Amino acid sequence: MKVAVFSTKYYEREYLNNYNKENRHQLTFFEMALNTQTVYLVTAFDAVCIQLTDIIDTAVIAKLSKSGIKLIALRSAGYDNVDIKAALKSKITIMRVPAYSPQAIAEHAVALILTLDRKTHKAYNRVRENNFSLQNLMGFNLDGKTIGVVGTGKIGAVFCKIMLGFGCKIIAFDLIESKVLIRKGVHYNTFDKLLENSDIISIHCPLTPKTRHLFNKKAFSKMKPGMMLINTSRGALINTSDAIIALKKRIIGYLGIDVYEGEEKIFFKDLSAAVIKDDLIERLMSFNNVLITPHQAFFTYEALSEIARITIENFSNFENDVHLENKIN
User: Any residues with CB less than 8 A from the CB of 275 and at least 6 apart, and which?
Assistant: none
Three-state SS at 181: helix
47/50 Cα distance (integer angstroms)? 10
Three-state SS at 184: helix
| Whether the Cβ atoms of residue 215 and residue 194 lie closer than 8 Å to each other | no
User: Any residues with CB less than 8 A from the CB of 257 and at least 6 apart, and which?
Assistant: 112, 230, 231, 232, 235, 238, 284, 290, 291, 292, 293
User: Any residues with CB less than 8 A from the CB of 51 and at least 6 apart, and which?
Assistant: 6, 7, 33, 74, 75, 76
205/48 Cα distance (integer angstroms)? 26
| Whether the Cβ atoms of residue 303 and residue 104 lie closer than 8 Å to each other | yes
Q: Pick the catalytic residue from 25, 204, 295, 306.
A: 295
325 tagged catalytic: no
Annotate 99-146 with DSSP letters as a single string.
-S-HHHHHHHHHHHHHHHHH-HHHHHHHHHTT----TT------TT-E
Number of neighbours of residue 287 by Cβ within 10 angstroms = 16
51/212 Cα distance (integer angstroms)? 19
295 tagged catalytic: yes
DSSP state of 234: -
Cα–Cα nearest to 52, from 209, 294, 263: 263
Q: Pick the catalytic residue from 12, 263, 264, 306.
A: 263
128 tagged catalytic: no
Q: Pick the catalytic residue from 204, 234, 261, 264.
A: 234
Residues with catalytic roles? 234, 263, 295
